[in-house]
Structure 1
Amino acid sequence: MTAPSQVDYQDILRVWREADTIPEIEHAWLFDHLLPIFGDPNGTTHEGWTLLSALAAQTRRLRLGVMVTSNRIRPPAMLAKIAATVDIVSGGRLDFGIGAGSRPSWPGARREYEAHGLPFHAAAHAVESLAEACTVIRRLWTEPEPFDFHGAHVRLTGAFCNPKPVQRPHPPILIGGRSGPTLRVAAEHADLWNIPGGDIDDVVRRSELLDRYCAELGRDPASITRSIHLPVSYDQPGITRDSIGEALDAGFRHIVLGLGAPYPANVVRWVADELIKPSA
């Protein structure tokens, strides 16, 4: 994962092009923020989906996505159209990441929304909207005729998406988050579920909670791939290797390694040799 903030486009492109040539790297990710969430508050931040489309056109093998799209930023029908376009540009390599949006408890959460004239509703509203968005987006990708949708938060008349994504029945849906309400949405809609690493015991408890919600819905918990984001330490790779080992032992098979900028030369080969191969 290369957070597209406090870094130039050419630097991210260099890393993704390198990753595209290294088989140990299966997927690559951006994040979805409109202003910096670390470093210089007035520094650069690139818009995630625009950048993802550019990188999709510059790569050939990597699966790719935004980890995770804020459902607060784009209307779901528009987001479905954007994502379908990226899946086409990439030749069917999109993993569609989505979440409820920034946590209200985070002090800077409102800043980027207010700066762009976007509403910032309470957490309950955000999660309810996420559930409706997932329903609408899947229908837009799969239904052959226009439809109306009248939800509590999403209202559409004559909704239709053409062309459809390349992938059938639709791109895999990755839902990110750790709260109980978000995990309920994941249990219903996700093909993959992602959580930031940290306290591995808490990560395991959240995974077990997802299992319980799946059981309530009559869904096999094993049908949802467990994904975790782990920061990479260039200076102390052993710490990252230990975190990878803990995640694998906890049943997480989709490992996202967050690279900090500036990116060293040949950083992806270093990741493969120093972090991935020793953990295999």
Structure 2
Amino acid sequence: MPHTPRTSFGIMTAPMQVDYDDLLRVWREADTVPEIEHAWLFDHLMPIGGDPDGPAYEGWTLLSALAAQTRRLRLGVMVTSNRFRPPALLAKIATTVDIVSGGRLDFGIGVGSRPDHPLARREYAAHGLPFHDTAHAVASLAEACTVIRRLWTEERPFDFHGTHHRLTGAFGNPKPVQRPHPPILIGGRSAATLCVAAEHADLWNIPGGDIADAAARSALLDRYCAEIGRDPATITRSIHLSVSYDKPEPTGEAIREAIDAGFHHIVLGLSAPYPAGVARWVADELIDKAV
């Protein structure tokens, strides 16, 4: 009989329209709830929902703070915009978080904001960051994954002369706690991003609750893996599902459908304000009833 992977559950707390103390409360609570194995932030510099002028925290700085305040949870940014930071700098940031957390980082990365999302698009101009076309962004992501992995694993300085990234004397020291490197999660649904995931990802995440679409995209990833001679089973399938506190039943059904479709890394998106005891509620009302 084929082996059925174990399903893990995590939470996502988008760090916008919320106070740091509230985020810290939820993460500390989740750290004590064994059913919740991982926790995630997102990577936007301005809100993409609610008051466009409301608060939004920088994801990696916040992740490092939360890493220091937790002991058990695996943690990450779902997903880092490769458009925001040069890959060598990002590799250094991620290494620092892996060390602060004692080796609990899952490294999430993606192309960056969709060009058709105006609230996400505006953050580039607002921070003086270029917004290149999709083909440029996907090719840049592929090079970034190569550079980051080399910085995490190679013991000698190296030069890298790519189309989009060029480094001279690149070297990462210290190395991450996890060897050979933290797991790489690539997020996205486009065919071009799936090609990058087939080559570089340990986990692949798709946002959203259309399970049929997610399954079709997962099958496409299988095909791209086969084309380069990689076993598709070596890439864990991850999905983000939004949570309604008032009506948890649809989320529970979506969890069961996702697991049946081969997604065994489930990320439950929590909206602010967070109810008291929300992590325990997630375990009791969603996780325990779905498995």
TM bucket (normalised to shorter chain) is over 0.9
**How far apart are the structure 2 equivalents of 1:146 and 1:81?**
14
**1:129 paired to 2:140:** yes
1:51-80 Cα shifts (integer Å, max 9, x gaps): 000000000000000000000000000000
Displacement after TM superposition at 1:109 (Å): 3.4
1:192-238 Cα shifts (integer Å, max 9, x gaps): 00001222111111000000000001000000000000000100010
**1:231 paired to 2:242:** yes
**How far apart are the structure 2 equivalents of 1:102 and 1:216?**
28
**1:92 paired to 2:108:** no
What pairs with 1:1-280 in structure 2 (closer than 5 Å)?
Answer: 1-280=12-291
Runs ≥4 residues deviating over 3 A: none
Displacement after TM superposition at 1:168 (Å): 0.1
Question: Is 2:44–2:120's contact at 8 Å kept on the other side of the alignment?
Answer: no
Which secondary structure state, in structure 1, belongs to the residue aligned with residue 266 of structure 2? strand
The structure with higher relative contact order (CA 8 Å, sep 6+) is 2
Q: How many matched pairs?
A: 280
1:158-213 Cα shifts (integer Å, max 9, x gaps): 00110000000000000000000000000000000000122211111100000000
- Code of the aligned partner of 1:251: G
Unmatched segments (≥5 aa) in structure 1: none
What TM-score, normalized by structure 1, do the two folds share?
A: 0.99
**How far apart are the structure 2 equivalents of 1:176 and 1:196?**
8
1:10-68 Cα shifts (integer Å, max 9, x gaps): 00000000000010000000000000000000000000000000000000000000000
**How far apart are the structure 2 equivalents of 1:85 and 1:123?**
30
Identity of aligned residues (%): 81
1:74-126 Cα shifts (integer Å, max 9, x gaps): 00000000000000000000000000000112223320000000000000100
Question: Is 2:52–2:119's contact at 8 Å kept on the other side of the alignment?
Answer: no
**How far apart are the structure 1 equivalents of 2:107 and 2:253?**
28
**How far apart are the structure 1 equivalents of 2:114 and 2:66?**
28
1:124-168 Cα shifts (integer Å, max 9, x gaps): 100000000000000000000100000000000000110000000
Unmatched segments (≥5 aa) in structure 2: 1-11
Which is worse superposed, 141-150 or 99-108?
99-108
- Code of the aligned partner of 1:9: Y
- Code of the aligned partner of 1:218: G
What TM-score, normalized by structure 2, do the two folds share?
A: 0.96
Which secondary structure state, in structure 2, belongs to the residue aligned with residue 188 of structure 1? helix
Which secondary structure state, in structure 1, belongs to the residue aligned with residue 118 of structure 2? coil
**How far apart are the structure 2 equivalents of 1:142 and 1:258?**
33
- Code of the aligned partner of 2:196: V
**How far apart are the structure 1 equivalents of 2:101 and 2:158?**
27
Report the aligned-residue RMSD: 0.5
**How far apart are the structure 2 equivalents of 1:49 and 1:199?**
29
